[in-house]
Amino acid sequence: MNLKERIIRRKDGSIFFRDFFNEYDDEYVGNVYSELVKEGSLIRLSQGIYYKPIKTRLGILYPKVEDLIGVIAKRDHAVILPTGNTAIHHLGLTTQVPTNYEFLTNGAARKLQIGNHTITLKHGVANNFAFKGKLMPVLHQALKAIGRDNITQEMTGKIALLLQKSPETTTFQHDLAIMSKWEQDVINKTKHPAQ
């Protein structure tokens, strides 16, 4: 079975990278991808990233942002964190769905276009990735984006629920110490069990 057939046989919704098929010459892989894009069998999401679309009667179903980010993180052996409005939405602290998604990464910076959405991966400084838990680094990014003077009582309540669901007791104190004083004050109001 040649490479083109292998790609066509993959299930709809699959994501491919330029270096996905190391057993083939790089130029050959690129030519096969280009041919499949022209035929409409693949969509080029970004340089070196292709998608086998899920086609419905309403149009093309693009991959979920979280799924695509997960695949990129795994492939690049990178940590990728939502930041700004993306982090706020990710934690459910707002009902507004962002049209542009922003992430920090310790891997390669890039910009992707998924349907009407732009996904930006910016290279972040090391202290953004010093956290040991999974919730606290995202919470840190969300709080920074909201700002000290814009934290509502409702948000504090939602943060308390998030910390109840994912207490991260073994990493909590370490991660809390990385945060700014005002962020610590917000989290301390939630009466976390590890406090």
State mean pLDDT over 112-139: 92
Domain ranges for the chain, please list them: 3-61, 64-189
| Residues 50-64: tens digit of each pLDDT | 999 999 999 999 888
- Distance from C-alpha of 30 to C-alpha of 35, rounded to nearest angstrom: 9
> Which pLDDT value is given to residue 101?
96
C-alpha to C-alpha distance for 176 and 192, rounded to whole angstroms: 11
For 66-78, what is the mean pLDDT?
Answer: 91
The two beta strands, 43-46 and 49-51, are antiparallel
- DSSP string over 28-97: HHHHHHHHHHHHTS-EEEETTEEE--EEETTEEEPPPHHHHHHHHHHHHT--EEE-HHHHHHHTTS--PP
pLDDT, tens digit (0-9, with 9 covering 90-100), for 29-48: 999 999 999 999 999 988 88
Identify the pLDDT of residue 109: 92
Q: Whole-angstrom Cα distance, residue 139 to residue 82?
A: 10
The pTM of this model reads 0.84
